[in-house]
């Protein structure tokens, strides 16, 4: 098996697909263990590796979506998952990013994600206002969930009235069980896997956000929209929960060979792959059949040439997207 690496060894035969039965290795940066991205992305990596005759894709835990952008931009990892608003800031060197990240390219959207915040029902936390004075785990620093939660707390006037802590998913679950935190927040497409471990500690409740807070939060960074976590997302959920959402994408370093990205999409975007991924988790039910270029145009993230080639082979000509990091 051929190991894929980008920087600093770009000369390592990345211009051609492997021959003589060898597979090339691609690492896929996801998020913390127990997160939706890690669970769902791990299922995708496993399927791609077992199905493709040309690629092995390895799921890699990471510090979250912002970290993934840094890793992929630097060429330390070939592929990653991240979110539209994270790309927007990274391309411009603003927010969580101190410099522009010009080397990232979109491969395909994966799912819409919303901020899910839960508390045990017996805590009596039923609304945004009830968060005052509470201890809230928002995930690790600079993850998409942490950034969104911090934005909403600020827009709600609660930034200095609640205690924010930064724990990974498994740490947050333990802290909830032990009574060390009152609320756990995380971004997720579909039900958040780590919440399953909390149901044994008592009934859970999703905390809805006020419409005014959500509109301000959406306006703070392009790529975010007001969304609803619909009733029935969780078996214990009793009603719709308004929240802030965005689309997430798989993306790649610009120097990953076009043929590898095209092969990845050829294996991934099939009815057989969709059926398999739905067994991994409900989050895959909203995997788009189109590349959602209008979102990429809005944030200034170009498509990877291998993805453009994949769609061209199927009669779909994608528009050129200006790289916001180069403007």
- Residue 12 has what pLDDT? 32
Question: Domain segments of the chain: what residues?
Answer: 24-113+248-326, 114-246
Q: For 18, what's the count of Cα atoms within 13 Å in the CB-facing half-sphere?
A: 17
DSSP output for 187-228? EESSS-GGGGGGGGGS-EEEPP--HHHHHHHHHHSTTEEEEE
- Residue 190 has what pLDDT? 80
- Residue 4 has what pLDDT? 40
Q: What is the CATH number of domain 114-246?
A: 3.40.190.10
Q: β-strands 163-165, 241-253: how paired?
A: unpaired
Show the low-confidence residues of the chain (pLDDT under 50).
1-20
How many other C-beta atoms are found inside a 10 Å radius of the C-beta of residue 9? 10
Q: pTM of the entire structure?
A: 0.83
- Residue 9 has what pLDDT? 33
- Spelled out in words, what is the top-level CATH class assigned to the domain 24-113+248-326? alpha beta
**8 Å CB contact between 147 and 70:** no
**8 Å CB contact between 147 and 217:** no
Query: Using one digit for the tens of pLDDT, what is the confidence trace for 245-298?
Result: 999 999 999 999 999 999 999 999 999 999 999 999 888 999 999 999 999 999
- Residue 28 has what pLDDT? 98
CA distance 87 to 284: 21
Do the domains 114-246 and 24-113+248-326 match in fold? yes
């Amino acid at each position: 098996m051929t190991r894929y690496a980008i920087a600093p060894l770009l000369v390592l035969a990345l211009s051609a697909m492997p021959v003589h039965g060898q597979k090339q290795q691609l690492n896929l940066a996801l998020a913390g263990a127990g997160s939706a991205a890690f669970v769902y992305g791990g299922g995708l990596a496993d399927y791609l590796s077992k199905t493709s005759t040309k690629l092995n894709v390895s799921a890699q835990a990471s510090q979250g979506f912002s970290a993934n952008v840094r890793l992929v931009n630097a060429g330390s990892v070939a592929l990653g998952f991240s979110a539209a608003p994270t790309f927007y800031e990274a391309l411009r060197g603003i927010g969580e990013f101190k410099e522009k990240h010009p080397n990232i390219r979109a491969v395909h959207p994966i799912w819409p994600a919303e901020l899910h915040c839960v508390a045990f029902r017996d805590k009596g936390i039923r609304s945004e206002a009830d968060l005052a004075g509470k201890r809230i785990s928002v995930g690790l620093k600079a993850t998409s969930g942490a950034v969104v939660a911090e934005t909403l707390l600020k827009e709600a006037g609660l930034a200095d009235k609640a205690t924010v802590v930064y724990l990974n998913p498994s740490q947050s679950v333990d802290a909830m069980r032990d009574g060390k935190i009152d609320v756990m927040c995380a971004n997720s497409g579909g039900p958040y896997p780590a919440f399953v471990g909390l149901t044994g500690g008592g009934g859970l409740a999703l905390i809805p956000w006020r419409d005014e807070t959500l509109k301000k939060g959406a306006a703070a960074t392009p790529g975010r929209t007001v969304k609803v976590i619909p009733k029935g997302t969780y078996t214990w959920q009793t009603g719709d929960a308004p929240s802030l959402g965005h689309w997430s994408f798989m993306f790649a370093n610009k120097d990953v060979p076009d043929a590898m990205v095209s092969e990845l999409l050829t294996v991934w975007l099939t009815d057989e792959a969709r059926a398999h991924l739905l067994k991994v988790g409900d989050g895959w039910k909203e995997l788009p059949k189109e590349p959602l270029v209008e979102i990429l145009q809005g944030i200034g993230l170009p498509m990877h040439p291998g993805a453009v080639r994949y769609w061209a082979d199927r009669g779909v000509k994608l528009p050129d997207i200006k790289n916001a990091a180069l403007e």
